[in-house]
Structures are given as C-alpha cells and as structure tokens.
Amino acid sequence: MSITKGYQVRLAQVRRRRVAPMSEPIIEQPAPVTGGGDVLVRIRGLVFRRGGRAIFDGVELDIRRGAVTAIMGPSGTGKTTLLKLITGQLPPDAGTIEFDGEPVRARDRAALYRLRRRMGMLFQSGALLTDLSVFDNVAYPLREHGRLPASLLRKLVLLKLEAVGLRGARDLMPAELSGGMARRVALARAIALDPDMVLYDEPFTGQDPISMGVLVALIRQLNDASNLTSLVVSHDVRETAQIADYIYLIARGQVIAQGSPEALARDASPWVRQFMDAKPDGPVHFHHPAPALEADLFTRGRH
Amino acid sequence: MLFDPLARLGRAGLGVLERLGRAHRLLLAILLGSAEVLLRPRLLIAQLYNIGVLSVLIISVSGLFVGMVLGLQGHYVLARFGAVESLGLMVAASLVRELGPVVTALLVAGRAGSALSAEIGLMKATEQLAGLELMAVDPVRRILAPRFYGGVLAMPLLAAIFSAVGVLGGFFVGVGLLGVDAGAFWSQMQNQVDFREDIVNGVIKSLVFGVVVTWIALFQGHDCVPTSEGVSRATTRTVVLGALAVLGLDFILTALMFGD
C-alpha cells in the first residue's frame, strides 16, 4: 500500500470517529451556536480595527469542545488575526472572548499566561527555536513549566515525537528539517503540555501532498486520541473540509456562513460557492478596486 | 499647505517620543525580569560568552594597536619637554580614563550589539518570540534580560582587557623600540595612576556604556519591523545610535567626573 493510500485509509478511519456535526448552516446572518458548558471558546460582538479599517465587525462564534473547528476565508480576511485575538496577542477594540468561561484579557499578563498553558499553537512558520535541537524544542515548555526528572522528561518528549512520527529525528537541528517535518516538530511542542486546545495557523500552506496528508491525518488523530479541541485556520478547502466538524466562513469582517462541511458543500449562496469551489471571480472580485482602465491609462500619474 | 512641514515635524517628533517611550518600557520590563537571571545563571553565562568571550580577540587586537599608537604619539610630544619617562603614565591614564571604555564600547556596539539586534529581530521575524509567548514564557525575561546583563557585565571586563593590552602595546613601542627606561615607565604609571580617580571612574563609564549599548541593541531588535529590511535597518541603527550615544555620554560623564 502506498504512503498516500495509507494516510487516506487512516483518514477515513478517523473521520468515522469524529463528533457529529452541530447543526445545519445558517447563511448570511448566522446566529452563534448555543454552547453553555459544551463551548470552550465563546466570541461575542468582536470588533477589531487596524489603521481605521475594521478587520472584524461584530463577529460571533463558538468553538465546541472536542471538535475540530475550521475558520476559513480568503487571504487577508484576518484569520490569523483572529487566532491572535483568541490567544490574547492582540486586544479587541470591542466585544468579548472567553476561554472556558474565563475572559481572555490581553493586558493581564499573569492571567493570560495561565490560559496559554492550556493552549498550544502551531505557527505557519513552525516558530521552532533555531539554536535548539528537535528534542530540546519539544522539551522546552516542559522544562520551563515543570521540574520533571530527566528520565521522565526524556520519555515524555520521545512519546510526543512518536505521536508525530519524528522520534528518529530527535537530534536534528531545525535547519536540517523539511518544512513538513518542522511543522510536525512544532506540533509535538504544541501538545507537550497536554493543552485543552490546539490552534493551527495555516497548517497546510506550502506543503507537498505527502506532508499535507500527514498533517491532515495528524490533526484529526491528535484531536481524537488526546481529547483535544482543535481550531484550524486555513484557506485550503479540500484538506480542511476532510477533517473539520464545523466550519466558519469569514469575509468582510463577519461570519458569512457556517455549518458542517457537508452542509456547506450543499449551500447555494454565491459567496460560499465561489470560495468552496475555488472560482476565480464572483462576489469576491478578481480585480482589486481601481478606477476604470481607460481613465488610468490616459491620465498622468505617479505610477 | 502652509503648515505641512510643521505637521511633518510634529509627526516626526511624536514618533521619536513614542519610540523613546517604548524603549523605556522595555528597559523597565527587563529590569523587572532580573530575577530570571538570578534563578537561571546558565542563561547569563551563555550570554557572557557570546558578548564577552567572543569579543576578546577584536578587543585585544584593537587595544594593542591603540596602545602602540599612544606610545608613538606620546613619545613624540613628551620628548619635546624632556619627559619621556612619563610615557607609561600618559599611556595608562589615557587608556583607563578614556580610550579603554570608549573604544571598547564602540567595538562592542559594532560586533556584539549588531549581532544582538539581528538575533532578536530574526527571532521576531520568524515568530520565535511569539512562539515563546504562546508557551506562556515571557521573552523579555527569558531572552532579553540575560542578554542585557551579559552586555552590562562584559563591557567593563572587556574595557579592562583593552586597557591592559594597550599598556603592553605602549610598553612595547616606548621601551622596546624607542628606548624609554622600563623602570621609569612602570614606576611613573604605578605612582601617578589613581585607583579611585582614574580606574573606578573608567569602570563606571564602562558600566554606563554597557547599559546604553546593550539597551539600544535589544530595543532595536525587539522593536524592528519583522522583515529582512526591518532587521537590516535595526542592526544599522544599533551601531549608529550606539556609537553616538557612547560619544555623547562620554563627554557628559567626563565633565561630571573630571570637570572642576
């Protein structure tokens, strides 16, 4: 059996185990999914502006415990900014973000660090410490936040590396890793402290098909095996739809559609269709806003 | 239209004040994170190695040449007054009071300061600092504070090495090549160089330069635009601002210490 076939089989297995879809989609003006204790992250009335432009204008969404939730949308819609707001790297201009019922306060460093110990984040770049080996990178959060005996620490690190298939790469330096391997090491580091939630920032960008298949399978497997909650920010429709239990589509500063992957696949709204079917033109125009071509060509300008 | 230049000036002034404010906030955060350095002395030792030990060669070679030039120039001037026996005093006093602390600080700003800015800037550009934040590890305490104290402590030690090697360079030229009496060279130096007035003041200068140069380097790296161009500008600014700050502060400190 080929490697990709193997991953497809594993993927099919994990997809069968995934939690049930939450509800049918509500398009255009979605109401947030009601959560209560079932909701790990609750966002209400989120407003965030940058340079006078509203990146988010009244975003409301819930991230359910134990589920893989995807935030999708075209580039530049603020998906990574949303992760930064959830993790308290940026303060919102208005609205609230709660993690497990506790407000995320970007300016209360002690409370924020307590919350962050319960979160792991996979950066797009991996963000590995370049002067430490793979082993030491994964051991880093364990050493920083605990006083484990060396033998126990070693076992824990090797188990985390085993989970991402890189136990054999423990002595390599980050510069010796491929992009996909670096992301898997970063994933092992993100789960080192057994967090409640892992946030993935564009995990599939720039990956070859094999690495992408590995990451797709890993995200789902880790979520189910470790009883995690996963938040995947991505614009890779096919890969994300394979593993997500619930998808929020974001554009123009708002959630414009949400639902299970199957529900969004059936959705007929032009915006959803353009994004999910990767059409070059539609509600999101191919051309960036500009004056008429004739007017631009036959007038003098700086450029 | 009339007020455009004025508005630009105002904006530039506000920008400078804003950067100054951020720089002071960073310094305060570093000072508040000092406990980390005491709790994890290995971090400090690693930075003493990076900033101090790795700078010893350039400091020693520079000190040797500066001392040799001082020996030559000093001999030329003192010979006019028939006071070549005072060459040792002149070389040593010049080095411990002025040239040792100042040239060392300039060299450290160029070698270690630019390296610090580039390192911190690249850590920011590659999201390593954000990664630490997300692991609930404060990068100011864990990354910046040990580098700050490494720079502050390394500076007087490097200045001492610079001065000592410089004296040897002056001795080599004055006594070895120009025929100054070795006994007079050393005894004048021993009798006339005052511990408190010359050496302690030189050490104080070095400590101040250590604080300023390392602070500028860390701030420029931490505050840079996280792109290759941003990191490049940060390293350049570290060297330029560091050198200007050292020279400006040297005048103020000299006036305070030795002015009547």
pLDDT at A4 over 60: no
Share of chain A above pLDDT 70, in %: 83
Q: Which two tokens stand for residue B60?
A: 């020693």
pLDDT at A13 over 60: no
Among B148, B134, B219, smallest CA distance to A144 is for B134
Instruction: Give the neighbor-by-neighbor strand order of the sheet with A254-259.
Output: A119-122, A197-201, A229-234, A68-72, A246-251, A254-259
Confidence category of residue A286, pLDDT binned at 50, 70, 90: low
Q: What is the ipTM of this complex?
A: 0.77
In a 3-state reduction of DSSP, which class is residue A238? helix
Q: CB of B173 within 8 A of CB of B72?
A: yes
**Inter-chain residue contact A119 with B126, CB threshold 8 Å:** no
**Inter-chain residue contact A127 with B128, CB threshold 8 Å:** yes
CB atoms within 10 A of CB A244: 26
Confidence category of residue A287, pLDDT binned at 50, 70, 90: low
CA of A140, closest CA in chain B: separation in Å?
9
CA of A117, closest CA in chain B: separation in Å?
6
- Predicted pLDDT of residue A23: 42
Residues whose CB is less than 8 angstroms from the CB of residue B224 and which lie 6 or more positions away in sequence, other chains included: B117, B120, B121, B124, B125, B230, B231, B233, B234
- Predicted pLDDT of residue A22: 42
Tens digits of residue pLDDT in A185-230: 999 999 998 899 999 998 888 778 888 888 888 899 889 988 899 9
- Predicted pLDDT of residue A33: 44
Q: Which residues of B touch A (CB under 8 A)?
A: 126-128, 130-131, 133-138, 142
Q: Could you tell me the residue ranges of all domains in chain B?
A: 46-254
Does the beta carbon of A114 lie under 8 angstroms from any beta carbon of chain B?
yes
Q: Which long-range contacts (CB under 8 A, 24 or more apart) does B232-238 make?
A: B234/B117, B234/B118, B234/B121, B235/B114, B235/B117, B235/B118, B235/B121, B237/B117, B238/B109, B238/B113, B238/B114, B238/B116, B238/B117
Longest dimension (CA), chain A: 74
Confidence category of residue B2, pLDDT binned at 50, 70, 90: low
How far apart CA A197 and CA A223 sit, in angstroms, is 9
pLDDT at A238 over 90: no
How far apart CA B18 and CA A299 sit, in angstroms, is 40
pLDDT at A19 over 70: no
Nearest to A87 among B127, B134, B138 (CB): B134
The secondary structure of residue B134, as a DSSP letter, is H
CA atoms B23, B25, B29, B34: torsion sign = positive
pLDDT at B171 over 70: yes
Q: Calculate the alpha carbon distances from B151 to A98, A296, B11, B45, B155 in Å.
A: 41, 56, 33, 11, 6
Torsion on CA atoms A135, A139, A143, A144, rounded to nearest 10: 120
Among A206, A190, A256, A194, smallest CA distance to A58 is for A256
pLDDT at A26 over 80: no
Nearest to A89 among B128, B133, B142 (CB): B133
- Alpha helices of chain B — where are they, by DSSP H? 4-32, 34-39, 41-47, 56-80, 87-94, 100-108, 114-125, 128-134, 139, 145-171, 182-192, 201-223, 228-258
Confidence category of residue B93, pLDDT binned at 50, 70, 90: very high
Q: CB of B113 within 8 A of CB of B214?
A: yes
